[in-house]
């Protein structure tokens, strides 16, 4: 977790914490009140200096209304100011006198310090992120993120919103040029993505560049939404003119640079190919897992868990009559069974999405058995836009804004429905939706006493670990039917294989081809899906390891609580820790231990 990835697009939690007074109710002048004031100041600074964050959180209103027409400042001066704010924020937290803080206040201070310490790590390498060191890749850069942001996050409810969209559309051209200039300078230092990544990026840029300006999705998004709201004006014409005169020339300049870099980018696929690559990956792994595990330790855990999960799947598959070949071979055969595949057509995609929505509805009724005070917040399931599906991950989640102006969104990449055999889909829904990201982050959003600064971050080891744990919890709640149970174990196997593949790519110098072959052979995933996954790991080091390392910790802590509490243990009690917000695994362990002790102390 790096602080600037402070996930405006994905969070939520509920109630006050179990120990100590809420910071929101702290006495004026107390240490808790002073800490809350500092955290509020840091939060407001982040929002004021990031228009995209302000929009994602629904805070671009009132005194911040002008932010709705701007994009983040990605000029060299703007980036330098952002780095300086990060250093100043860390200094202010380190200088804070924590004497007199409540237990809750101590937790909040420790969490904020952790986030800020990790947030400045990339600066020692002259990078924006140790996990994502490339300015332009198949899954990163303004060309990739801003069209999706304008279409999915920027609201079009009023004429003012439409004008703000046009302003941001013009700013998109500037952001492209800023990326182009930065990528040129970074390439001179040796920081440029692998050749195949640049090829994929070029393909997506050309796809964005190809239509006539009036037919481009950037134009249609505004025109169609303005028409739906009955907003008078020549929205299509104005947007098309900006696309034609500003965006397309900026895209042409970026395409020209990337074509040039493609000829000279260093060989290899992992971070080892970069200057100080081993150091960068070590820091990326630390940020992703919130642990001090070495790449070799993570690799070993992955191999051990791949073996264990393969053995468990072997039993299930034999019970289903699949007895020939390796576990990976049998899963591959299961993937291809006609009854497991949706048609690769618009009708087939609709049927697939309908099945996901049905799974969400059925899960709502099961949640009260395992959770207290379930926050029932709306969730939309959408297909990843076709323009970015070649580089996008297979599934991801956008949180709802604070003001509730739009629902949370669970995205699924439907480039090829063969990537999604029916038996695998329920576990994905329970991971991205309920009781996974959507429920966990809905709890966070509902936690009014949790400082906004800590309510709107995302730590992957905690959040993705929880989402993977949720797939297992869904099984305990009786959500899977028949061979679907193999789907969630395959999901676990996939995450264990990621530990092997990510460390293999970046530490052991595996090729992308070797990693993809291992993924297909081990997990039985369709080759296209496995290939996209491996390509994402190549340009986003460490993040893939956060899932299983986090999942292991959630399981460990639950088992510890059950053993210590016996009859006093209940799932709703254990899951109430979600109401305390997102934190690194070390702090999560501390809180679970404290909650166990408090429960044992009760008569």
Listing DSSP states for 298-357 in one string gives HHHHHHHHHHHHHHHHHHHHHHTT--SS-HHHHHHHHHH-GGG---SSHHHHHHHHHHHH
User: Tell me, what DSSP letter sits at residue 247?
Assistant: I
How far apart are alpha carbons 555 and 456 in whole angstroms? 25
The secondary structure of residue 325, as a DSSP letter, is S
Q: Please, are residues 441 and 360 in contact by the beta-carbon 8 Å criterion?
A: no
Which pair of tokens denotes residue 38? 């500092």
Phi, psi of 294 (to 5 degrees): -85, 160
- Which segments in the chain show pLDDT lower than 70? 1-25, 603
Torsion on CA atoms 42, 44, 46, 49, rounded to nearest 10: -130
Q: What secondary structure letter does DSSP report for 17?
A: -
As beta bridge partners, residue 305 has: none
pLDDT at 23: 52
Would you state the pLDDT for residue 404?
A: 78
Structure confidence at residue 5 (pLDDT): 38
Longest Cα–Cα distance in the chain: 73
Question: Where do we find the tokens 């804070």?
Answer: 96
**Predicted TM-score (pTM) above 0.85:** yes
Helical H runs in 507-542?
A: 512-523, 527-539
3-class DSSP state of 410 = strand
Question: 160-183: b or e for each residue (b if 16 or more CB lie within 10 Å)?
Answer: ebbebbbbbbbbbbbbbbbbbbbb
Q: 116-153 burial, b for 16+ CB within 10 Å, e for fewer?
A: bebbbbbeebebbbbbbbbbbbbbbbbbbebbbbbbbb
pLDDT of residue 603: 58
Q: Which phi and psi angles does 415 have, rounded to 5°? A: -55, -40
């Amino acid at each position: 977790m790096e602080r600037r990835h402070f996930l405006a697009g994905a969070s939520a939690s509920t109630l006050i914490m179990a120990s100590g007074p809420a910071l929101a109710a702290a006495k004026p002048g107390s240490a808790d009140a002073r800490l809350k004031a500092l955290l509020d100041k840091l939060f407001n600074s982040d929002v004021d200096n990031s228009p995209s964050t302000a929009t994602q959180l629904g805070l671009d209103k009132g005194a911040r209304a002008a932010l709705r027409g701007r994009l983040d400042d990605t000029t060299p001066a703007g980036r330098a100011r952002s780095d300086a704010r990060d250093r100043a924020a860390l200094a202010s937290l380190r200088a804070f006198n924590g004497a007199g803080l409540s237990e809750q206040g101590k937790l909040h201070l420790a969490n904020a310090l952790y986030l800020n310490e990790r947030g400045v790590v990339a600066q020692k390498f002259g990078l924006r992120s140790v996990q994502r060191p490339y300015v332009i890749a198949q899954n990163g850069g303004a060309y990739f993120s801003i069209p999706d942001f304008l279409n999915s996050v920027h609201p079009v409810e009023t004429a003012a919103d439409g004008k703000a969209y046009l302003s941001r559309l013009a700013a998109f051209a500037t952001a492209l040029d800023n990326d182009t200039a930065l990528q040129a300078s970074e390439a001179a230092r040796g920081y440029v993505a692998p050749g195949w990544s640049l090829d994929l990026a070029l393909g997506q840029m050309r796809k964005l560049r190809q239509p006539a300006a009036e037919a481009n999705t950037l134009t249609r998004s505004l025109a169609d939404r303005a028409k739906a709201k009955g907003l008078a004006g020549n929205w299509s014409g104005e947007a098309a003119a900006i696309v034609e005169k500003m965006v397309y020339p900026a895209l042409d300049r970026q395409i020209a640079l990337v074509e040039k870099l493609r000829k000279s980018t260093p060989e290899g696929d992992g971070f080892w190919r970069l200057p100080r690559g081993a150091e960068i990956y070590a820091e990326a792994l630390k940020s992703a897992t919130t642990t001090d595990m070495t790449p070799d330790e993570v690799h070993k855990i992955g191999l051990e868990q791949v073996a264990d999960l393969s053995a468990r799947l072997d039993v299930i598959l034999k019970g289903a009559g699949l007895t020939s070949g390796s576990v990976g071979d049998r899963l591959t055969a299961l993937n291809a069974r006609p009854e497991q595949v949706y048609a690769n057509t618009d009708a087939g995609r609709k049927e697939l999405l309908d099945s996901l929505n049905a799974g969400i509805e059925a899960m709502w009724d099961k949640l009260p058995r395992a959770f207290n005070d379930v926050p029932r917040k709306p969730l939309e399931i959408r297909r990843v836009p076709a323009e970015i599906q070649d580089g996008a991950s297979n599934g991801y989640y956008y949180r709802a804004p604070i003001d509730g102006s739009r629902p949370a969104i669970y995205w699924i990449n439907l480039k090829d429905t063969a990537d999604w055999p029916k038996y695998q889909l329920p576990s994905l829904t329970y991971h991205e939706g309920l009781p996974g990201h959507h429920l966990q982050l809905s709890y966070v959003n509902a936690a009014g006493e949790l400082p906004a600064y800590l309510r709107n971050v995302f730590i992957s080891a905690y959040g993705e670990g929880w989402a993977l744990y949720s797939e297992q919890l869904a099984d305990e709640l009786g959500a899977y039917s028949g061979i679907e149970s193999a789907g969630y174990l395959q999901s676990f196997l996939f995450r264990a294989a990621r530990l092997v593949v990510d460390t293999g790519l970046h530490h052991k110098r595996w090729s992308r081809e070797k990693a993809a072959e291992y993924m297909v052979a081990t997990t039985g995933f369709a080759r296209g899906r496995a290939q996209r996954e491996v390509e994402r790991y190549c340009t986003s080091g460490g993040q893939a390891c956060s899932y299983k390392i986090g999942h292991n910790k959630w399981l460990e802590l639950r088992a510890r609580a059950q053993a210590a509490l016996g009859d006093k243990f209940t799932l709703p009690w254990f899951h109430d820790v979600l109401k305390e917000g997102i934190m690194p695994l070390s702090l999560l362990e501390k809180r679970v231990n404290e909650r166990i002790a408090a429960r044992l102390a009760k008569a």
